[in-house]
Chain A
């Protein structure tokens, strides 16, 4: 049995879309100039392995590369990998590295660096844990060949290895660093080198003259990386209004993470544009299915049918142009995994009869549902929770909103005895096996036997169509048991100066600043 053709077919299914989706104006753009980007927060270290806060991966996304990278259809494509193949039994994945690649330090990229990087990634939080569960060993067969021995035949490895945390750094730079202790710098292979990193001011990334780009058309984190800007300056500006004003005055070229309230200000200014990236992420509430009042499936069903999603999303986002009432867990319809399987008719519209029916079938006696929200996520967490609680109150379902700083929120939600529900969000994942909410030890603790069996099959089934069908069954099951409830999909907005070339307008492009050109260069 040879898995190679099927797997490649599955993984490269999005290539044709990606090729067509390459930047239409890329050929008109030229290299040169500085790209100045105002950002809202910075991690103490640029090392992406030590944290699962995605916003802290920006620097590494530009400076580093992984064996694989996702394209605009969220499909993993080879980046540092030249070729890959599965064994006959599907339990061994062999990856061959591209020839002639070097790290910023000048050292040649070898399979030893890949092994060192991925051994560290394997012990890290988040997707690293999924990777650890999938592999038995990682070995360097020769200088350019890495062999992964797997627990079971599994197609998910390229997806797991295309994340920002799975970047490859030189083995020498990893000395002294652990999965929780950051490296001193980033000795990677990407189109920019990290010239300076000051956690409370910003970072400077300088184009690396020796970068060897892939030749395929650019598509998100795969294909050619043009490195248009000579220098990329990331400037920390925690206040959103300051980022907006700096953009208007021309002190920066891109202002990340703009509240939708600033849309008019940016659109009305002759020199700026508000870029709205639709289908960015799902807003949701996750329930404690293990203990407490929300462990009652009929109560969760009653809550789902009591909610009017439009009001919840409007309260959070503030402008109907910036969200959609889409029930798919996968917010980006460009993803192969996008599905609405199992969604009851009339998503988002309350059904009082069903609420009464399920409340009657539940053991709920009016106890308060302890609903955790993080103060730092006021709009996404608090405003959605308060609106939902008002709607639930009409049916006698009582909510006690527990607002606390992020540090307390993360600690409290991990304790099944301390919470019944918490507000959260869900981006598009490369593979559904990586979805945090589906991890049985992730807060929420959804361990339904049917779901566990389906997830096991999903992790080991090779055929893409079969996998999609399995995922649709999980999706359907969740729309019956409601371990979490999605309200809708929100857009992301950021601002650019007029003349910024090839800005990202789809969520899959994330922080691909190497393919964005500064205004001066246009």
Chain B
């Protein structure tokens, strides 16, 4: 197992470096200028050129690349051009919000998806099943930003149960945090919950037809034990796969939700950093997302082994 983990960690390196190098080149080769964005639209070309020199942006691209690579290898991501703070200090502030948002969204998606999928499978071809399947199709078709605006209109503007936008960290208390994270997490998770509902329903229907379930029932085991201990465990495997993919999708897709709900997350920070051409911050953000996704994939593989005793990693 340890050997497997070591191999996987080695494989993470190219997973991270390839996108990082691509981002470095794309940022430098695409038009746009951080100096112009810093000084604003009233600055003259001379003032912009002077700042470019000061920031080292007038150096040849290969020299910038060597300096950048040296920084990466020594775990120095440099300072943000705009914030003038080390990127290593800025990223955690924003990544924490996105990770919390994605985690809550994932929990909501799994709870909703597994519950509805189970209910649907247990009531196959009954009105409740058709209702769940139709709702799931609708959920998959909904654009997240539109659903987010709908949630704001219903729960914040009309019912006034939640604030329209803003963010309270968990330090402000669980209720204050929950009030600001629930709607964004729901908006982010609804599409994934619809996918999981369909996956869970389909998987559960397959498992319920397996001989060992019939055997368990024939032995007189209570239905809750049959479902909870035997059927659910097997049926959950595809859902775990979807959950892993969903987590990655939601990490990347949180941008729109973070903008709409004014959450200070990594996605919004990245979009703004790209707009300002804050090269070190963009590179730090991409590195963080690559790392999180790589670690997430590793965790999912490990969860497989926990759920299915037949799986052994070497």
Produce 1/0 per residue, B23-67, CB < 8 A to A: 000000011111011111111111110010010000000000000
Q: Which of A251, A376, A441 touches B45 (beta carbons < 8 Å)?
A: A441
Knowing A239-B259, A241-B149 are in contact, say whether A411-B43 is a contact too (CB < 8 A): no
- The residue among B44, B84, B153, B163 with the most chain A CB atoms within 10 A of its own CB is B44
Knowing A235-B262, A245-B157, A246-B164 are in contact, say whether A125-B39 is a contact too (CB < 8 A): yes
Establish whether residues B262 and A242, one from each chain, have CB atoms under 8 Å apart when the complex forms. Answer: yes
Knowing A51-B38, A238-B259 are in contact, say whether A200-B264 is a contact too (CB < 8 A): yes
A236: Cβ under 8 A from any B Cβ: yes
Establish whether residues A407 and B262, one from each chain, have CB atoms under 8 Å apart when the complex forms. Answer: no
- Taken together as a complex, chains A and B put the C-alpha atoms of A344 and B304 apart, in Å, by 78
- Taken together as a complex, chains A and B put the C-alpha atoms of A378 and B153 apart, in Å, by 26
Establish whether residues A180 and B39, one from each chain, have CB atoms under 8 Å apart when the complex forms. Answer: yes
B68: Cβ under 8 A from any A Cβ: no
Nearest CB in chain A: distance from B199 CB, A: 33
A181: Cβ under 8 A from any B Cβ: yes
A50: Cβ under 8 A from any B Cβ: yes
Produce 1/0 per residue, A122-162, CB < 8 A to B: 00011101000000000000000000000000000000000
A212: Cβ under 8 A from any B Cβ: no
Establish whether residues A406 and B260, one from each chain, have CB atoms under 8 Å apart when the complex forms. Answer: no
Establish whether residues A52 and B42, one from each chain, have CB atoms under 8 Å apart when the complex forms. Answer: yes
Q: Which of B30, B82, B164, B166 touches A44 (beta carbons < 8 Å)?
A: B82
Point out the residues of chain A lying under 8 angstroms from B230, CB to CB.
none
- Taken together as a complex, chains A and B put the C-alpha atoms of A127 and B38 apart, in Å, by 15
Nearest CB in chain B: distance from A359 CB, A: 31
Establish whether residues B40 and A126, one from each chain, have CB atoms under 8 Å apart when the complex forms. Answer: yes
- Taken together as a complex, chains A and B put the C-alpha atoms of A251 and B37 apart, in Å, by 32
B269: Cβ under 8 A from any A Cβ: yes
Point out the residues of chain B lying under 8 angstroms from A198, CB to CB.
264
Query: Which chain A residue has the least Cβ–Cβ distance from B152?
Result: A245
Point out the residues of chain A lying under 8 angstroms from B31, CB to CB.
404, 407-408, 411-412
Establish whether residues A200 and B268, one from each chain, have CB atoms under 8 Å apart when the complex forms. Answer: yes
Interface size, A (range): 35 or more
Nearest CB in chain B: distance from A358 CB, A: 30
- Taken together as a complex, chains A and B put the C-alpha atoms of A443 and B163 apart, in Å, by 44
- Taken together as a complex, chains A and B put the C-alpha atoms of A129 and B32 apart, in Å, by 23
Knowing A201-B264, A237-B262 are in contact, say whether A406-B165 is a contact too (CB < 8 A): no
Top-6 shortest CB links A-B: A52-B40, A407-B32, A410-B36, A125-B43, A52-B42, A200-B264
Q: Which of A45, A242, A412, A441 touches B152 (beta carbons < 8 Å)?
A: A242
B94: Cβ under 8 A from any A Cβ: yes
Point out the residues of chain B lying under 8 angstroms from A242, CB to CB.
152, 164-165, 260-262
Establish whether residues B264 and A52, one from each chain, have CB atoms under 8 Å apart when the complex forms. Answer: no
Q: Which of B34, B40, B47 touches A129 (beta carbons < 8 Å)?
A: B47
15 CB < 8 A contacts A-B: A52-B40, A125-B39, A125-B47, A201-B166, A201-B262, A249-B160, A249-B163, A251-B164, A251-B166, A406-B41, A407-B32, A410-B37, A411-B31, A441-B45, A441-B46
- Taken together as a complex, chains A and B put the C-alpha atoms of A199 and B85 apart, in Å, by 13
- Taken together as a complex, chains A and B put the C-alpha atoms of A246 and B160 apart, in Å, by 10
Establish whether residues B33 and A406, one from each chain, have CB atoms under 8 Å apart when the complex forms. Answer: no
Establish whether residues B275 and A237, one from each chain, have CB atoms under 8 Å apart when the complex forms. Answer: no
Point out the residues of chain B lying under 8 angstroms from A245, CB to CB.
152-153, 156-157, 164-165
Q: Which of B43, B45, B82, B157 touches A249 (beta carbons < 8 Å)?
A: B157
Point out the residues of chain B lying under 8 angstroms from A182, CB to CB.
84
Point out the residues of chain A lying under 8 angstroms from B43, CB to CB.
52, 125-126, 410
Establish whether residues B37 and A44, one from each chain, have CB atoms under 8 Å apart when the complex forms. Answer: no
B residues contacting the other copy or chain, number (CB 8 A): 47
Interface positions, chain B 247-283, Cβ under 8 Å from A, are: 259-262, 264, 268-269, 272, 275-277
- Taken together as a complex, chains A and B put the C-alpha atoms of A442 and B36 apart, in Å, by 13
Please list the residues of chain A having a beta carbon within 8 angstroms of any beta carbon in chain B. Answer: 44-45, 50-53, 56, 125-127, 129, 180-182, 198-201, 235-239, 241-242, 245-246, 248-249, 251, 376, 404-408, 410-412, 414-415, 424, 436, 439, 441-443
Given contacts A127-B42, A236-B262, A407-B33, 4 further A-B contacts (CB under 8 A): A52-B39, A238-B259, A246-B163, A251-B164
B147: Cβ under 8 A from any A Cβ: no
Point out the residues of chain B lying under 8 angstroms from A199, CB to CB.
83
- Taken together as a complex, chains A and B put the C-alpha atoms of A53 and B36 apart, in Å, by 11
Query: Which chain B residue has the least Cβ–Cβ distance from A127?
Result: B42
Point out the residues of chain B lying under 8 angstroms from A201, CB to CB.
166-167, 262, 264
- The residue among B46, B164, B272 with the most chain A CB atoms within 10 A of its own CB is B164
Establish whether residues A237 and B44, one from each chain, have CB atoms under 8 Å apart when the complex forms. Answer: no
Query: Which chain A residue has the least Cβ–Cβ distance from B256?
Result: A239
- Taken together as a complex, chains A and B put the C-alpha atoms of A251 and B264 apart, in Å, by 18
Establish whether residues B157 and A407, one from each chain, have CB atoms under 8 Å apart when the complex forms. Answer: no
- Taken together as a complex, chains A and B put the C-alpha atoms of A412 and B163 apart, in Å, by 41
Query: Which chain A residue has the least Cβ–Cβ distance from B275?
Result: A405
Query: Which chain A residue has the least Cβ–Cβ distance from B55?
Result: A180
Point out the residues of chain B lying under 8 angstroms from A44, CB to CB.
80, 82-83
Point out the residues of chain A lying under 8 angstroms from B149, CB to CB.
241
Q: Which of B32, B34, B39, B165 touches A237 (beta carbons < 8 Å)?
A: B165
Nearest CB in chain B: distance from A337 CB, A: 18
Point out the residues of chain A lying under 8 angstroms from B32, CB to CB.
404-405, 407-408, 411
Query: Which chain B residue has the least Cβ–Cβ distance from A235?
Result: B166
- Taken together as a complex, chains A and B put the C-alpha atoms of A53 and B157 apart, in Å, by 33
Q: Which of B30, B94, B153, B160 touches A200 (beta carbons < 8 Å)?
A: B94
- Taken together as a complex, chains A and B put the C-alpha atoms of A410 and B261 apart, in Å, by 29
Query: Which chain A residue has the least Cβ–Cβ distance from B80?
Result: A44
Point out the residues of chain A lying under 8 angstroms from B152, CB to CB.
242, 245
Point out the residues of chain A lying under 8 angstroms from B47, CB to CB.
125, 129
Establish whether residues B164 and A407, one from each chain, have CB atoms under 8 Å apart when the complex forms. Answer: no
Q: Which of B41, B94, B164, B269 touches A410 (beta carbons < 8 Å)?
A: B41
- Taken together as a complex, chains A and B put the C-alpha atoms of A249 and B153 apart, in Å, by 10
